[in-house]
Structure 1
Amino acid sequence: MKKYDFIIAGGGMAGLSLAYYLLQSPLRNRSILILDRELKNRNDRTWCFWEGTTKSSRPCAFEPVLFRTWNSVSFNGTTYAGPIDLGKYRYKMLRGIDFYDFVQAELAKYPNVEQKQVSIDRIKDTPQGGFVIANDEPYIADYVFDSTFALKLDQPENHNLLQHFKGWVITTEKPCFDPQQPKIMDFRVDQQGDCRFIYILPFDEKTALVEYTLFNGSLLTDDEYDAELRRYIDQFLDTGAYQISETEYGVIPMSDERTEENPSEHIIRIGTAGGFTKASTGYTFQRTQRYLQAIVHNLAKTGKPNRQVSWFKGRFKLYDSIFLNVLEKNRHPADDVFTRVYTKNPRRIFAFLDEDTRFIDELRLFATLPFWPFTQAFFDVLRRKLAG
């Protein structure tokens, strides 16, 4: 049985990003095996993220294939409708198919990279290395990077919500979109006791991705997502006739379940499996890129992939749990919470969500939130964690 240097279990965004960064590092000639059950040959998802423009900001590795970049975004909340100041940040959109094609073209340059379309049955650690069973065939490597591990999402001491969404790319008869300004949240939809909003990514004046997004614990039927999309389009967009050219659907866990990035000596979990998704927002892409770059840097420098994390950074996990508690318990209307966050903390909010703020900035942001709901959430989080 051939032993690889690295096996990447799961060839989605996290797995392919890791392969790309390995090939841009001194480790580029190591043997790499990528295992995934699907061919990545269709535009199955979209990733959006903000990124800094200062001299110290590192540009996105996939900048050449970004679909759109915006200097401004807009927001519709309870007390405000209009643009949000991005400050030093830019909002960027990457289509799944463009990302897949870009990375696959890079992988094709390296004969030391193998890919197999298989279903992964089991991953375990052994004294000889990380061991993977896929389609009843064994594979072994010095390190296995696993993005397939599923979180439990049912432990009572944790907060376990879902970010789920369905979107349509529509082409309209009339020009009704502002191509210079995506709408990151529009709360002019029935909240039904939780958090629901519309998200619009304009491609031009007549084409956009219009997405219905929810933060709660229950998925909808296709017909329910479709009905809300139609209702919003009919009520708030002067489209004339329109056609649906693409459909996008996804579910992202919003959970503060404790994850183990390094569960054993030869296995490293990446992506959502490794806790790369920010629990309070569901944002994953940019955090995954940063964390994977750190893993590859350490691996090339020390031979070990363990990412170094400051203990003080752990405060952001507490913030995420408190925010999830407010949403889960409906302690305050979510549309008002987000309105306060975005309108009273211009510029600061994006650094905060990137976990790049100072503690004093975080205190200033907290001062803009409703006091009692978040105080109650803080103590409930402590109670649940201690009880667990």
Structure 2
Amino acid sequence: MKRYDFIIAGGGMAGLSLAYYLTQSTLRDRSILILDKEFKNKNDRTWCFWERGEGTFEPIIFRKWPAVDFFGTVFSGSLNIGNYQYKMLRGIDFYEFVRNQLAKHPNIEFKQATINRVKDTPQGGFVIADDEPYMADFVFDSTFQLKLDIPEQHNLLQHFKGWVINAQNPCFDVKKPIMMDFRVEQQGDCRFIYVLPFDEKTALVEYTVFNEAVLTDYEYEVPLRNYIDRFLETGGYQICETEFGVIPMSDEPTQENPSEHVVRIGTAGGFTKPSTGYTFQRTQRYLAEIVKNLAATGSPKRRTSWFNRRFGLYDSILLNVLHKRRYPADDFFTLLYKRNHPAKVFEFLDEDTNFMEELKIMSSVPLGAFTKALFDVLKRRLL
């Protein structure tokens, strides 16, 4: 049985990002095995996020914008996002960039295999993949599946289908994407469109839903077609690419460090922000911290203060409002961006605000609905 310093179980965004950060640290010469059943060579997803300045993967950012448009119920227009930029990173660009960087390190090994088991032992982390055993000082696991059915928790899904379309007319504003457009039927859920322009004739148009169950292809495609026909003066268009995804929006408790030699990363480790589904930037932040700690102390454990756990409470309250349909989601997001500086909202969602700033933001939303949600969340936690 071959032993490694680190095994990365799952070679998706989280696993590849971790391997990249390891190569940028004093741990770059450690033996690393990356296991995944798939070889990532397709543009299977797109990550969109806001960021100040230049980030780790700035050389491969596909598009970035200094402003975004928003269409709500009683407020619409361009959002001043301050010194943030809204960025778009294509999956294929990320995979190719990271793999090319990792190929420079002969100590990193890839195996295409199905992971059967991950467990802790006194000797280290243990993995079985395609019935072959492997051992390491630490196993970083992104394959662990959350239950997402615990009655005491809030379990929603963010699911979406998008088309990259090529229009006959130059109908897209390349300087500004549409981050959220609620001019679609809500059907009691949170439903919106976003439009990311590549050039004047090409854009990704995506339909996103927050609720408990994915839709049929027809239920995604009808709103997409209706939106394009109503709001985009394409003059006719062709669908060049299709994108589909599902992201859990759950406050199910997760264990980033379930045992001494196993560390869960990505969604498996709770890196997805429950109330928004945003994963990419949080994953980068948390992985950088893990590698920093590992290089400095030999332990990958991140340290989170008790006070910082308040953001988990905020997430649960918003999930409760959405899940219980206590207030229309399109009205809530409209008020959030109308009554607050958009850059401060971004900072709040990144969990970089102080308590007084958070109180100001929370006072701008419907207090009745959110107070009911607060008491419901506290009752669930106490029980």
TM-score by length of 2: 0.99
Matched to 2:358, the amino acid is E
Does structure 2 conserve the Cα–Cα contact (< 8 Å) formed by 1:150 and 1:273? yes
Partner of 2:365: 369
Aligned to 2:225, the other structure's residue is in SS state helix
Does structure 2 conserve the Cα–Cα contact (< 8 Å) formed by 1:130 and 1:266? yes
- Match among 68, 72, 75 for residue 77 of structure 1: 72
Partner of 2:208: 213
Partner of 2:311: 316
Number of equivalences: 382
Partner of 2:4: 4
Partner of 1:348: 344
Aligned to 1:181, the other structure's residue is in SS state coil
1:382 to 2:382 alignment: no
1:1-388 aligned at under 5 Å gives the runs 1-53=1-53, 59-346=54-341, 347-387=343-383
Q: Deviations over 1:263-300 (max 9, x none)?
A: 00000000000000000000000000000000000000
Once the two structures are TM-superposed, the CA of residue 224 in structure 1 deviates from its matched residue by: 1.3
Aligned to 1:315, the other structure's residue is in SS state helix
Q: Deviations over 1:307-328 (max 9, x none)?
A: 1111111000000000000000
Question: In 2, distance between residues paired with 1:241 and 1:160?
Answer: 39
5+ residue gaps, structure 2, are none
Matched to 1:377, the amino acid is A
Question: In 1, distance between residues paired with 2:32 and 2:139?
Answer: 10
Once the two structures are TM-superposed, the CA of residue 168 in structure 1 deviates from its matched residue by: 0.2
Matched to 1:234, the amino acid is D
Matched to 2:109, the amino acid is E
Once the two structures are TM-superposed, the CA of residue 373 in structure 1 deviates from its matched residue by: 0.2
Once the two structures are TM-superposed, the CA of residue 343 in structure 1 deviates from its matched residue by: 1.9
Question: In 2, distance between residues paired with 1:260 and 1:90?
Answer: 32
Question: In 1, distance between residues paired with 2:26 and 2:220?
Answer: 47
Question: In 2, distance between residues paired with 1:18 and 1:102?
Answer: 14
5+ residue gaps, structure 1, are 54-58
Once the two structures are TM-superposed, the CA of residue 104 in structure 1 deviates from its matched residue by: 0.4
Question: In 1, distance between residues paired with 2:93 and 2:86?
Answer: 17
Cα RMSD, aligned residues only: 0.6
Q: Any runs of at least 4 consecutive aligned residues in structure 1 with deviations exceeding 2 A, and if so which?
A: none
Aligned to 2:138, the other structure's residue is in SS state strand
Q: Deviations over 1:112-155 (max 9, x none)?
A: 00001111011000001000011111011000000000000011
Question: In 2, distance between residues paired with 1:167 and 1:175?
Answer: 20
Aligned to 1:220, the other structure's residue is in SS state coil
Aligned to 1:314, the other structure's residue is in SS state helix
Does structure 2 conserve the Cα–Cα contact (< 8 Å) formed by 1:84 and 1:343? no
Question: In 2, distance between residues paired with 1:157 and 1:46?
Answer: 32
